[in-house]
Amino acid sequence: MEGVIAVFIPIVMFLVIGIIIITFVYFRSRERQMLIEKGLSAEEMKLFFEQKRDPYAMLKIGIISIFFGLGLGLGMLSGDEATREVWMPMTIFVFTGIGFVVANILGNKLRKQYKPD
């Protein structure tokens, strides 16, 4: 039974990755098609997609990754084997949530500070 499961893990992984990529491409093309149907010119579409982009996305991802790593590390250091399976998921979720909040607050503060007028 374990051998069958081991064979299906990479198959399912590649199927999920493929579905995610196809879904992303499909919805991106639908969005552009809807903008064309509204009658936007190429320059207006370019301006729309530039406004949509978040300049602090990598900063936010970095902050969230740091807090995820802190949660994972503290979860692995907590207690003995019996309590570790309780503390590990809790610290990962708590620190990742704190990371999301900190990244959002910092991103909003930087966006207000460097807002082009």
Provide the residue ranges of all domains of the chain, joining segments of one domain with +.
Answer: 1-52, 54-117
* Burial annotation 8-19 (CB, 10 A radius, 16+ → b, else e): eeeeeeeeeeee
Q: Looking at the predicted structure, is the pLDDT value of residue 5 above 90?
A: no
38 — alpha (psi -120 to 50), left (phi > 0) or beta?
alpha
pLDDT greater at residue 18 or residue 45:
18
User: Residue 79: which H helix or E strand, with range?
Assistant: none
Q: What global pTM score does this model have?
A: 0.58
**Whole-number Å distance between alpha carbons of 10 and 88:** 26
Q: What is the mean pLDDT of residues 43-69?
A: 83
Q: Looking at the predicted structure, is the pLDDT value of residue 20 above 80?
A: yes
Cβ neighbors of 70 (< 8 A, separation 6 or more) are: 95
Sign of the alpha-carbon torsion through 38, 40, 45, 47? negative
Quick one: tokens of 71? 């949660």
Which residue type occupies 72? L
CA neighbor of 55 nearest in space, from 117, 108, 97: 108
Which percentage of the chain shows pLDDT scores above 70?
A: 98
